[in-house]
Homo-oligomer: A and B are copies of this chain.
């Protein structure tokens, strides 16, 4: 590990699922908000369906069918579809905007803030997430994530796993790919980063999609680091 800890200068993190618990946070937030505002729904299913529209909505941008559009807008389009499906169409515009911004109010996993603070003492740390700049900024303030800077893929006008995102980070930080480590709870994100020459670190979030999750329970490749969580990642990275 010693050569890795002397080579790596920056560690960039997938955020949704890897650093913050989108599913639990949305269910908690919308359950409370629904009760206070007279909207009843199966908010767990609602959150999961909303998230299931995430990859298809970005794919239109990746494929070039649609120009790059920030995630806040994609989330809102998906939300409006769901609101119709759930018979919640009496929601006002202000209420829809509040609900859409639930993605700005996500809680970290218990080890995230402490683990990142340790890593920040030695490495440049930043999110590399498909969340837009404003969204990632709000999450960081809401949850207390101590990022050095914000590397939303919005900066590079593309969406992971497009190579331009990983290589854009290296260019912005003026580092070689081998000096940058992509850190995530998702094997596919790491594979795309590895193919661009970045170092990789994995830890599982076995309940990101709920108790019946089957994906990303274990490392599927020989990543440079396989950790239990972000605190363990900090330990393995020497801080």
Contact = CB atoms under 8 A, between A and B. Distances in A.
B172 A133 contact: yes
A150 interface: yes
A143 to B, nearest CB: 12
B154 A133 contact: no
A90 interface: no
A172 B154 contact: yes
A141 B148 contact: yes
A173 interface: yes
A103 interface: no
Contacts of A154: 172
Given A149-B147, A155-B155, A172 B134 contact: yes
Contacts of A133: 149, 172-173
Interface string A201-239: 000000000000000000000000000000000000000
Contacts of A147: 149
A72 B155 CA distance: 19
Interface string A113-153: 00000000000100000001110110011000001111000
A174 interface: yes
A174 B72 contact: yes
Given A149-B150, A155-B155, A173 B134 contact: yes
Interface size range on A against B: 20 to 34
A108 to B, nearest CB: 16
A154 B172 CA distance: 8
Contacts of A72: 174
A140 B124 CA distance: 10
Nearest to A136: B149
Of residues A133, A147, A149, A155, which shows the largest number of chain B Cβ atoms within 10 Å of its Cβ? A149
Given A72-B174, A174-B72, A137 B149 contact: yes
Contacts of A124: 137, 141
A175 B133 CA distance: 12
A232 to B, nearest CB: 24
A198 B202 CA distance: 42
10 contacts: A72-B174, A124-B141, A133-B149, A133-B173, A134-B175, A137-B149, A140-B148, A140-B149, A149-B150, A150-B150
